[in-house]
Amino acid sequence: MEEYFDVVDINDKVLRKSPRSEVHREKSLHRAVHVFLFRSDGQMLIHRRTQTKEEFPGVWTSSCSGHVSAGETYDETAPRELWEELKVPAKSLQRLQKFSACESTSWEFTTLYRTTATVDPEPDEEEIAEIRWMAIPDISAWITAEPDQFSPAFLILFRWYYEHQSSFPAMSPG
């Protein structure tokens, strides 16, 4: 059964709901979330997408991400995706920033969240080929050296996070 997404206008207001395949084929504006998951030592989890992914197979990206389903909110989607992709319960998700839809985000309005892991992640093997815990400066250096190893949306979100991280309050351990 095909997923349905809310198709939105340039102000992120819902116009209608459409099947995933149609939304992607027509490059309609729609919604997504990304979550940056951290360990208590400050390292962030990134994952390499499986080769079977429709968009950007085999590249590195956020800890988890996903589409907002039709009728769902960003705040409902983030904990669902965290659980579906990593089996991590969302105890204290912090909403950080909303990004406008553009070609680099695959025409998705994207809301970025962060949280701290309270359990070891259990990656969904259909979505995630590999995970790595890395320090923020190490991810930044890797992006500088090999940006093509990362999804375009992750590059936007990570660069924004890297520039603004000092302004965020400390995270609670869950």
List alpha helices for the chain, DSSP H. 20-26, 74-86, 136-145, 152-164
CA gap 56, 92 in Å, rounded: 29
Domains in the chain, CATH or no CATH each: 27-167 (3.90.79.10)
The model's pTM: 0.93
CA gap 36, 165 in Å, rounded: 12
Q: For every one of its 174 residues, what pLDDT tens digit does the chain have, with 9 covering 90 and above?
A: 889 999 999 999 999 999 999 999 999 999 999 999 999 999 999 999 998 887 888 999 999 999 999 999 999 999 999 999 999 998 889 999 999 999 999 999 999 999 999 899 999 999 999 999 999 999 999 999 999 999 999 999 999 999 988 777 666 555
pLDDT of residue 1: 85
Q: Residue holding tokens 């815990």?
A: 133
CA gap 90, 118 in Å, rounded: 9
